[in-house]
Chains A and B, each alone.
Chain A
């Protein structure tokens, strides 16, 4: 039981954390929660199976093609569902536009791919330290993304530009930073991260059009729990969510594990509305 909780919990937690990071990366440059994050995760699994299983591409090529495709979907999201509604952010029209695009992607996948889960290929036929690929791959992907983002944000000009945009959009533009270009780049990056989440967890989630909903819902929980925009918080909250979900699966079982997860989520937000890693909002006097 403990082995199953840890293996499944860590793997799924890492996948949720990656989706949460994709949410955050898109949010940081646009102040938009794009619900295409779940669709990106789903596409990661479907594209991986398509490129490697059906088209016979080598695993690495299939991975790169998947990331490239999902990055393009990220860019399309920015153009189609985000840019047109940025001027009226306070009306939250992005909820409708990104959800609509997400549903379109999901339905298109259902029609063109399959309505039943399809197998995801095993890339490396040997276990790593006795751990099966489907369990270690999401964790490794998560570690690589965290490391990569740290390097990007702290040791590159473009990363610092991202942070500047995220910190103060108007000030960054006043300093001459190409805000639109950076936003498009952040959506491409988020697309690749979301696609990686689906690809890495494909062994567990399979290549299935209906994976959009679990990725969207469970991926959003670490965003809120880890404090919006905080990638480290999202990683910690994502891993905790995965472990708790799998433990609940054993303890209460069936559909009640989902109830347990969302109950704890609501209680946690009632206690710390700003998230576990966020500072309480300053009180205006």
Chain B
């Protein structure tokens, strides 16, 4: 190939232009790098996909409005596939190579247990969603803050509903034999007993148990007035509802949000078997008697209509993720800095910060920011666009 003088001239002009463009880019404000670890593929990706819609929507909205003090939000997403090993590698990459200014996720406890110490070592401000109580510890991990309720808050809401609203004096507590189910069942039994309630039957079942009739019959013959369920297995939940329906027992089920999953509906022998099933939910994601969401949530749903799909996901996933991005943006705007210390310092003084999903409060000694009184019970069979109706009895 011959090299002409014209080609050399064009090449020189191009190089000069590139140099100018580089200087201009160097002058542009540094983007706010927002690390986002979530399972977007694989068996546990449903929640990750829902959360991701909130992250993407919030970042695009902020950037469309000119960013934060002229700095764009750059979401750096890594698909962990629900695998703690992949999550660890991604966390190291985000913290040490990409040097994100803040990080959200991963979205399940197993992954977060593995990544939280890593993000703490790199002092990356970290926002978390998983419910596991021990995940958040301001002494061990001063950089980690939780935006969702803990398992204890779910347990508190369920116990409160059983005692104060359903007026139950005798309860049965049934969980599955996973690590989560076993722990949640034991804690629930202890807390009910401490509250002076008679736990007449408690059991841990195989998450894939085919016939739950013996256990439901035992709970019935023991005189349980409410059955508290701690299992995220939709199959087990549906089988227990079917067993309850088949023996014609008119008792309420209260407990885990998985009881409201659409997958449960497909497994029920009759739609009526879903009646009187109440799951933990959130005021911000609950319809009132007139079918309206609280004002902030309703405004968000109206705003995202046609832009974010809500019909096949859970509303709180989208809201909580939206709040996470908005919180980081506001922190940088208020502090004028994206330094780790500035962000963590701001969060440690956060008082009733008004997100859409809830009003968050952090202190240096408490990094669980979700308000307990926002955790309520919802009617499991009332889902509409990822939100649920309040269970009967709430004002």
Contacts and interface: CB of A to CB of B under 8 A. Distances in A.
Contact of B266 (A12, A110, A118, A205): A118
A205 B204 CA distance: 19
Given A115-B44, A206-B235, A254 B208 contact: no
Interface stretch (B6-14, B209-217, B336-344, B379-387): B209-217
Given A116-B234, A117-B267, A206-B267, A254 B215 contact: yes
A117 B214 contact: no
Contacts of A30: none
Given A115-B43, A116-B234, A116-B261, A253 B218 contact: yes
Interface stretch (A61-69, A153-161, A171-179, A208-216): A208-216
B206 A255 contact: yes
A259 B347 CA distance: 49
Contact of B214 (A111, A208, A249): A249
A118 B267 CA distance: 7
Main secondary structure of the interface of A (DSSP, over half): helix
B203 interface: yes
Interface string B59-100: 000000000000000000000000000000000000000000
Given A4-B211, A4-B213, A208-B235, A111 B206 contact: no
A255 B235 contact: no
Nearest to B236: A117
A1 B211 CA distance: 12
Interface residues of B, number: 25
Q: Which of B43, B211, B261 has the most CB of A within 10 A?
A: B211
B163 interface: no
Interface residues of A, number: 27
Contacts of B41: 111
A205 B239 CA distance: 11
Nearest to B201: A253
Interface string A98-114: 00000000000011001
Contact of B263 (A12, A116, A210): A116
A264 to B, nearest CB: 17
Contacts of B43: 110-111, 115
B97 to A, nearest CB: 29
A208 B266 contact: no
Nearest to B261: A116
Contact of A253 (B177, B208, B214): B214
Interface in A241-255: 246, 249-250, 253-255
B215 A246 contact: no
A254 B204 contact: yes
Interface of A: 1, 4, 8, 12, 110-111, 114-119, 204-206, 208, 210-211, 213-214, 246, 249-250, 253-255, 258
Given A206-B235, A249-B211, A253-B203, 14 more contacts: A1-B214, A4-B213, A110-B43, A111-B41, A114-B263, A115-B44, A116-B261, A117-B234, A117-B263, A118-B266, A210-B208, A214-B208, A254-B206, A258-B206
